[in-house]
């Protein structure tokens, strides 16, 4: 595919161009594609590069090629959102050529939507401010991520940590079954147990003014329609950093923005997200029984699972 305006600067910090962006996605498409197939996308687009205006696009454009399927989801206030779903590698490159920098995906494919999902994700979001005050091993987000690993170990659950390419860490937890409501409660319970493990470092408070400098353990990624950045997606940062799955042994030795799109050759030599998942064969995953156990343990530990929240995680008064 020919790249239009290949010399357009997309990432000013390093002078990286649209040709660099499309070239990166061409290099990693084989590793990235399996995690995108069948999943509705939200695109983070910057037609003039990250130095210009960006926007999130949920609706497939009329000019999108026929190979990109439309998945219609009714809106609460009427109408539908026609999410794009890619069907092949050329779709990724085509979208990149249109200024799509980041690919955000649902945690279930459309065929799994009735069962609630295939993954839970705990999104560890550090507070605003410099992210290089301490090394990665001492950083609060690293210590909270390791607390997540400890909590999951209590339930013998495997997981894949993903360095987000920004400041945080995503912890992906495999799911075999469970309703959307049940899985959302399970994610909330896990987040609460993590906060209990490191209360001085972590919080489940949605409002930044209530976090008091702590890492936000965002459990809301299990809610219907919630998205998470896809593994190996570029992020809309000045350096063109990339979301990269890692081993737990690497957590603490690399920063969340360690890799950028110029590291494509290194990234394609690393185990893919799904290759890491193959190591889970024979291990427990989240199912209805595990969900019930996690929620029960959280309740016994005093985790608040009853205060109502809106879809953004803001507390509602009864």
**What confidence score (pLDDT) does residue 128 get?**
80
96: left (phi over 0), alpha (psi -120 to 50) or beta: alpha
Residue 32 tokens, joined: 């990235």
- Give the per-residue pLDDT at 130: 61
141-160 pLDDT, tens digit each = 999 999 999 999 999 999 99
Tokens 């210590």 — which residue? 143
Task: Check residue 316 and give its pLDDT.
Answer: 55
Q: What are phi and psi of 177, to 5 degrees?
A: -165, 165
- Alpha-carbon distance of 59 to 272, in angstroms, equals 29
pLDDT average, residue stretch 116-131: 81
DSSP-derived pairing of the beta strands 202-203 and 215-218: parallel
Given this model, what pLDDT does residue 271 score? 94
Q: Work out the average pLDDT over 113-139.
A: 75
Interval 264-305: pLDDT, tens: 999 999 999 989 988 887 777 899 999 999 999 999 999 999
Instruction: State the CB neighbour count (10 A cutoff) for residue 64.
Output: 18
Residues 6+ apart with CB under 8 A from 13: 238, 239, 240
Report the percentage of the chain scoring pLDDT > 70. Answer: 93
pLDDT value of residue 134: 59
Residues 34-57 have pLDDT tens digits of 999 999 999 999 999 999 999 999
For CA atoms 209, 123, 310, 80, the dihedral sign is positive
- The 3 state secondary structure assigned to 45-76 is ECCCCCCCCCEEECCCCCCCCCCCEEEEEECC
Whole-number pLDDT of residue 314 = 66
Mean pLDDT, the chain, integer: 91
Q: Which of 178-182, 242-246, 266-270 has the lowest mean pLDDT?
A: 178-182
- The answer to whether residues 70 and 81 touch, using CB atoms and an 8 Å cutoff, is no
- The first and second tokens of residue 139, run together, are 């950083």
Inter-CA distances, 64 with 1, 26, 125, 313, 317, Å: 15, 19, 33, 33, 43
Q: How far apart are CA 27 and CA 37, in angstroms?
A: 17
State the pLDDT at residue 318: 46
Domains of the chain in sequence order: 9-111+226-275 (3.90.920.10), 115-225+281-300 (3.30.70.3300)
DSSP code of residue 208: G
Burial class (CB in 10 A: 0-12, 13-18, 19+), 308: exposed
pLDDT at 111 (0 to 100): 76
CA dist 197 → 92, 207, 285 (Å): 40, 21, 22
pLDDT of residue 177: 85
Q: What is the mean pLDDT of residues 64-71?
A: 96
Give the model confidence (pLDDT) of 105-119 as tens digits: 999 888 765 444 589
Cβ atoms of 173 and 122 within 8 Å: the answer is: yes
**Cα four-point dihedral sign 278, 282, 283, 285:** positive
**What's the pLDDT at 115?**
47
CB neighbourhood size of 12 (10 A): 14
């Amino acid at each position: 595919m020919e790249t239009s305006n290949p010399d357009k600067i997309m990432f000013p910090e390093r002078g990286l161009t649209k040709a660099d962006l499309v070239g990166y996605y061409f290099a990693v498409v084989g590793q990235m594609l399996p995690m995108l197939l069948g999943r509705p996308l939200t695109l983070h687009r910057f037609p003039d590069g990250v130095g210009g205006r960006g926007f999130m696009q949920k609706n497939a454009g009329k000019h999108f090629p026929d190979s990109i399927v439309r998945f219609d989801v009714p809106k609460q206030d009427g109408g539908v959102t026609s999410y794009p779903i890619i069907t092949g590698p050329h779709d990724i490159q085509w979208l990149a050529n249109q200024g799509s920098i980041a690919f955000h995906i649902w945690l279930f494919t459309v065929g799994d939507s009735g069962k609630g999902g295939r993954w839970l994700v705990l999104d560890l979001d550090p507070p605003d401010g410099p992210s290089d005050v301490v090394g990665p091993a001492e950083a609060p987000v690293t210590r909270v991520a390791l607390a997540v690993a400890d909590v999951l170990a209590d339930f013998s659950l495997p997981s894949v940590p993903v360095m987000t390419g920004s400041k945080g860490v995503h912890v992906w937890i495999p799911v075999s079954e469970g309703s959307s409501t049940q899985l959302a409660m399970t994610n909330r319970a896990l987040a609460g147990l993590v906060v209990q493990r490191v209360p001085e470092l972590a919080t489940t408070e949605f409002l930044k003014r209530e976090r008091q400098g702590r890492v936000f353990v965002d459990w809301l990624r299990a809610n219907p329609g919630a998205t998470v950045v896809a593994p190996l997606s570029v992020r809309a940062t000045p350096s063109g950093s990339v979301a990269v799955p890692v081993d737990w042994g690497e957590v603490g030795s690399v920063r969340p923005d360690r890799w950028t799109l110029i590291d494509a050759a290194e990234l394609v030599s690393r185990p893919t997200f799904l290759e890491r998942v193959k190591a889970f064969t024979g291990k427990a995953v989240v199912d209805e029984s595990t969900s019930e156990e996690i929620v029960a343990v959280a309740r016994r530990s005093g985790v608040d699972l009853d205060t109502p929240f809106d879809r953004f995680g803001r507390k509602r008064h009864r």
